[in-house]
Amino acid sequence: SQQGEEDPQALSIQEGENATMNCSYKTSINNLQWYRQNSGRGLVHLILIRSNEREKHSGRLRVTLDTSKKSSSLLITASRAADTASYFCATDPLETSGSRLTFGEGTQLTVNP
């Protein structure tokens, strides 16, 4: 069963604005990963943050992790129309470390030009 919950389910912004997506989970984790999926396509790995990390950056992406609240956020700065996609968080549970990922419900991001 899916343990991750993401909010918002859908987000529509204008080009140049920042987009923030949140993910909550229920079990202790080894790491948390964010993926992007364009409509009808496979998943692209964006960033991985380990349980002992609090913040990580990659280009225009910034990910935070709060293990006490069991939540993570993905911030995309200076968004572009090409960022339009679905974004999923996925947790690697501590008890099954590395053997499976549990995906959140996803956030559909639309960046209007």
Partner 1 sequence: GAVVSQHPSRVICKSGTSVKIECRSLDFQATTMFWYRQFPKQSLMLMATSNEGSKATYEQGVEKDKFLINHASLTLSTLTVTSAHPEDSSFYICSARTWGPYTDTQYFGPGTRLTVL
Task: Catalog residues that contact partner 1 under the rule CB under 8 A.
Answer: 2, 4, 35, 40-45, 48, 88, 92, 98-106, 108
Half-sphere exposure of 40 (CA within 13 A, CB side): 0
> What residues are paired with 103 via a beta bridge?
90
Please state, in angstroms and rounded to a whole number, the distance separating the CA atoms of residues 83 and 4: 22
Question: Taking the complex as a whole, how short is the minimal distance between the CB of residue 27 and partner 1, in angstroms?
Answer: 15
Cβ closest to partner 1, residue 64 vs residue 103: 103
Nearer to partner 1, 71 or 77 (CB): 71
**Complex with partner 1: residue 50 or 54, whichever CB lies closer:** 50
Would you say how long the chain is, in residues? 113
